[in-house]
Structure 1
Amino acid sequence: MATFVVGDIHGKYKQLQELLALIDFNQDKDILWCTGDLVNRGKKSLEVMQFCFDLGERFLTVLGNHDIFLLALYHGYQSNKKIPKCLADILQSAQVDDLMSWLSHQPFFHYEKESQAILVHAGIPPLSTLEECIQANNRLQAFFQSPEHSNDLKDFLCHHMMGNEPRFPDDIGSEYDDYRYFINCFTRMRYCDLKGAPRYAFKGKPSKAPSKRTPWFALPQHGILSSQQPKYSAIFGHWGTLHKQPINSPHILHLDDACAWGGCLTALCLQGCKERGYQAKQRFSVSCA
């Protein structure tokens, strides 16, 4: 049995199947993780969701910002823009209730002790400990999954989720502030200022970043990744413009190789690699051009 992690799929069903064939993925034995953003951009978003849903316990994804947007639409969020057809196909499908329930049960932040791996879509809150991130994920999952919170969840997704505040954990003043801060970090963050506050305006590559902006994983005082020899591997996606950019740490594993923009869909082998004849953390890619 091997565990593989695939980057942001974005509805690219054909490329996903090509990649799984390349790594010789066995649906009966292997496990597949994803960095989130299963949907949007690609025309086959419904097929991607159905396939991942059918993998059952063999599949795990963290939620990405596009997945959250889909959940918000499902709960009645009124977007100012026309809903993409690939998302409308999901919302109009006969399986939509089952798929949205399943999606709501996926984590925002996943930590596996055996491999010391942290899986997140965008970033790890820079001023939080591992335990605080785990607890935040537990609060979010309870909120998204509990039937008794269904009305509050709809209210939050439709009216209170958007926005960049609070910037610091110490500024959290309500449950909605708490949810928004951690969702933003987990699903949207790329850069921070030098104090560790997430900054969302700039989305480009680090070589073009404004002054006093640093990638979240390079912040010297990062609560989880700041030691000279990090204990954890941080696996994330979200950041297409980071594709082919050097990251000077073997513990920072970025997997969004811009498949949605004509780049590649990439997977790495996380566990059980040697038995399959692969190197630990070996990467595999297929073209999305």
Structure 2
Amino acid sequence: MILKAHRLTLPVNNEGSDYVVGDIHGHVTQLKSQLADIGFNADTDRVICVGDLIDRGPESIEALELLDEPWFFAVLGNHEYLMISGMKYKNSRERMTWLNHGGDWVMHTSPDQWPAWFDRIERLPVAIEVENREGVRYGIVHADFPSDHWDNFEQFDQDQLYRCIWSRSNFNSRSEHSVRGIDYLFHGHCISDFELKLGNRYYIEPGVFLGNDFIIKKL
């Protein structure tokens, strides 16, 4: 799968609230329950996911169906990448990696369903930017942002884009650097028992598939 430097910029939500949530990993019922607990209104509010909608949980199909909802947005995660690379583009190594890390749910589905899922996933951006009504700008990228300035994204090569969805280097080193050109960044991918802030970057993936609650942040 060839990655593209696709960044989606959402308009300011003047009607309701925006929320960002960690990796869903097929736990849609739990997500909706927690959203209900905080008073989420699908008519005015929006949810932005840091990627990895699918695998490891029982509701991967339902997670992909969220992409049809007008209130839901997501960036590309490494699990979506593996699905497309392995299933659509026939990369056998990445197909086996995906199947061995939660993708085996697809074996219980009809191949007739796959093209629509592939289309939804390939339209996902690698990055999302959104500004709240107070003028605070947020960036959402699945795993990491391998640059010191947000505006460099459109010039990223394949290696840098790959690191956006796979890298754990800054998380593992607990780097306190901040990314210039954006107020705050949100990442998933790297599991932390609690919300972890490093510089101006927040890691909000607690591992819902391990039995933990989602971290949902109001922007």
User: What one-letter code is carried by the residue in structure 1 that aligns with 2:190?
Assistant: W
Q: Provide the identity percentage.
A: 23
* 1:115 corresponds to 2:93: no
1:97 corresponds in structure 2 to 115
Deviation of 1:23 after TM superposition, in Å, equals 2.1
Aligned residues: 195
- Of residues 241, 247, 250, the one that matches 2:197 is 247
* Conserved? CA contact 1:257–1:265, under 8 Å: yes
**TM-score under structure 1 length normalisation:** 0.60
Counterpart-to-counterpart distance in 1, 2:212 and 2:84: 27
Higher strand share: 2
User: Please, which of 169, 181, 184 is the counterpart of residue 162 of structure 2?
Assistant: 184
Relative distance call for 1:232 and 1:80 in structure 2 (3 A) is same
Counterpart AA for 1:112: V
How far apart are the structure 2 equivalents of 1:82 and 1:107? 20
Q: CA RMSD in A?
A: 2.5
Aligned partners of 1:123 and 1:248: how far apart in 2?
12
Alignment of 1:53-132 (within 5 A): 53-56=67-70, 58-75=71-88, 76-78=90-92, 79-80=95-96, 83=99, 84-89=103-108, 92=110, 94-113=112-131, 114-126=135-147, 128-132=148-152
Are the counterparts in 2 of residues 123 and 187 from structure 1 also a CA contact under 8 Å? Answer: yes
TM-score, with structure 2 as normaliser:
0.78
Counterpart code for 2:44:
K
Secondary structure of the structure 2 residue equivalent to 1:47:
helix
Report matched runs for 1:198-277 at 5 Å.
206=172, 214-215=173-174, 217-219=175-177, 224-225=179-180, 232-240=183-191, 242-244=192-194, 247=197, 249=199, 251-270=200-219
Offset of residue 5 of structure 1: 0.8
Q: 1:29 aligns with which of 44, 62, 73?
A: 44
Question: How far, CA to CA, are the matches of 1:95 and 1:25 in structure 2?
Answer: 30
- One-letter amino acid of the structure 2 residue matched with residue 232 of structure 1: D
* Secondary structure of 2:162 counterpart: helix
Matches within 5 A, 1:144-163: none
CA positional deviation for 1:218: 2.0
Q: Deviations over 1:255-287 (max 9, x none)?
A: 1011122222121111xxxxxxxxxxxxxxxxx
- Find the aligned partners of 2:154 and 2:97 in 1 and give their Cα distance: 34
Deviation at 1:3, TM superposition (A): 0.7
Other structure's SS at 1:247 match = strand
Cα distance, 1:244 vs. partner? Answer: 2.6
Deviation, 1:82, is 7.8
| Unaligned stretches of 5+ residues in structure 2 | 1-15
Letter of the 1:66 counterpart: H
